[in-house]
Amino acid sequence: MSNPNLKRVLIGVGGGIAAYKICEVVSTLFKSGIEVRTILTNSAQHFITPLTFSTLSRHPAYTDENFWQPTNRPLHIELGEWADTILIAPLTANTLAKLAYGMADNLLLNTVLASTCPILLAPAMNTDMWEQETVRQNWQNILTFSRFHGMETASGLLACDRVGAGRMAEPQEIITYVQSLLETKGKQDFTGKRVLISAGGTREYLDPVRFIGNPATGKMGLSLAQAALHRGADVTLVCGAVSWDIPLGVRGVKVETSEEMRSQMLQYCSNADVIIMSAAVADVKPREYSLEKLAKKSLPEALPLERVGDIIAELANCKQQHQKLIGFAAQTGDIVTPAKEKLQRKNLDAIVANPIDQIGSGFGSDTNKAIYIDREGKEVEIPICSKLEMAHRILDLVN
């Protein structure tokens, strides 16, 4: 049916206006080298056509008409065996209820029952529908089964002009979750664990418009938060100056300065099982701060600086026996020697040393490479890969 070496995603499209968002999901997954097949329910075809998805996936889109056509093998069996991951989006109240009770009256539902792979559900419906007791009960029931993974709905302006919960997760969040399931095969090995992560750079202000900063975008910390969430963790993300939104399902705290990050990390650390300090925190800050913007002529020729507090060292000092504390060391040249020294000096459980002077790694890139070093001196090389893949490799080693 296809190349068995490629990752394969089957997408079931439900009947809702949010179906148009799945076009971006199909297109992006295909462009990333993932094979994509689609099934449209009869209701979905009132909102979007099979031709649209067949064009984006470079493969015919299936409907219930295909279900009843004679083939060498039953279509639902073949599709169920083919898929590495199944995404159902938008998930309607009707399809949710049928999934919860194991019903199979169309091609999509029969394929679900004929498969064994992880299934990601992205619901979308009117707020009152989403908040009905029966719908909430079906949602809670389906998530008790290990195969099913659910995305939270967002709040906002819905197509019915209602403002409230029930808005489907955005395409990029869905894509990232699908990629995680392809990496982990759906394992939930962080269920019951609380993970605290710092991300992004800090800003140390001279006046209201000038600051000392760095080029960190927080992409690595974001990927760690998403990976931990997708593996079942309760995630708190303390992030500095970043341009992205906090992922659905993650407890997010936005800060700017190193002192603000220190305060929030110390506040949340006592309840965490795993603490990962991936933020690029400033080492120094201006000694004096002006409440008003300084005129150019008033700027000092030499800027007096003072050191900022060492957050990860403070975290290490108050670390409990059951906790794991992981640091990052962004380096140029020799990345291992200074990382090992930092690991021992700051009493960390492990450190991730990554080069920032090589193509495809470091600040702002979508990919990364690193060497993971633990307290016993074990070194594991993580070759260049997406930051989400690296996040999962790190969590594999932490766990």
Decide: helix, strand or coil at residue 71.
coil
Q: Tell me, yes or no, if 160 is annotated catalytic.
A: yes
d(CA 323, CA 343): 16
Decide: helix, strand or coil at residue 330.
strand
**How is residue 17 annotated by DSSP?**
G
Options 160, 239, 318, 385, the catalytic residue: 160
Look at residues 35, 100, 103, 41 and name the one whose alpha carbon lies nearest to residue 66: 41
Amino acid sitting at position 376: E
According to DSSP, the residues that pair with 86 across neighbouring strands are 10, 119
Placement of tokens 């991951």 in the chain: 85
CB within 8 Å of 381: residues ≥ 6 apart? 370, 371, 372
d(CA 14, CA 16): 6
Q: Cα 309 to the chain's mean position, in Å?
A: 29
Q: Are 304 and 287 in contact (CB under 8 A)?
A: yes
Q: Are 15 and 96 in contact (CB under 8 A)?
A: no
List the catalytic residues. Answer: 160
